[in-house]
Amino acid sequence: MTVSLVSLAVGCIAGYLGQRSRMCTIGGLRDFVLVRDTGLLKGVAAMLITAWVAFGAIRLISGSSVGHGLIAAGTTPSGWTAVAALLAGGLLLGFITTLSGACPLRQHVLAGQGRIGAWSFLAGFYLAAVVYTSWISPHIASWVL
C-alpha cells in the first residue's frame, strides 16, 4: 500500500519537473557532442552528486554501512566476463536509446504531453518487458552477476 503511494508520488514529482525542465539523462551527452551545450549535462552531474551525498547522509543518520566505505558490498562484478557483459549491454542501451531520441523516463514524459511516437515506444517497451522476463532473461541474466 505505502509502496504504491510512495512510488506514485515520486513518479508525479519526476514527471512534473521532467516536463518543465525537458531533462533527459542521455540528452546531456548528446547535446554536448553535437552542439557543446552543457545544460542537460549539468543536470546529470547534479543527479549523480546528489545521489552520492544523499545515500552517504542516510547511512550516517541511520548508522548502517553497506560495505567498504563508499562501495556497496555485493555489487562488484564477479569477473571480467561480467564487466564485458555490462559494458556491452550498456553500450547497446546507450546506442538504441540515442536512436530513439530520448531516455526511457523522458519518453514517459513525452507520452504525457501528447507525443504519439512516445506511445509507440512505450508499447514496444512494455511488450518487451514481458517477453524479456519470460523467455530471454533465464538464458542471459546470469552473465552480468
Q: Per rule CB under 8 A, is residue 79 in the interface with another protein?
A: no
Number of residues that bind another protein (CB under 8 A): 108
Q: In whole angstroms, how close is the CB of 16 to another protein at the nearest point?
A: 4
Q: In whole angstroms, how close is the CB of 14 to another protein at the nearest point?
A: 5
Residues 77 and 86: their CA atoms lie apart, in Å, by 9
Residues 10 to 29 in contact with another protein, rule: CB under 8 A: 10-23, 25-26, 28-29
Q: Per rule CB under 8 A, is residue 4 in the interface with another protein?
A: yes
Residues 83 to 112 in contact with another protein, rule: CB under 8 A: 83, 85-100, 103-105, 107-112
Q: Per rule CB under 8 A, is residue 60 in the interface with another protein?
A: no
User: End-to-end distance of the chain based on CA atoms, in angstroms?
Assistant: 31
Inter-residue contact 115 to 121 (CB < 8 Å):
no
Residues 28 to 57 in contact with another protein, rule: CB under 8 A: 28-30, 33-34, 39-40, 42-52, 54-55
Inter-residue contact 14 to 20 (CB < 8 Å):
no
Long-range contacts of 74-79 (CB under 8 A, 24+ apart): 77/144, 78/145
Residues 111 to 130 in contact with another protein, rule: CB under 8 A: 111-118, 120-130
Q: How far is CA 27 from CA 41, 72, 74, 110, 114, in A?
A: 8, 28, 31, 14, 20
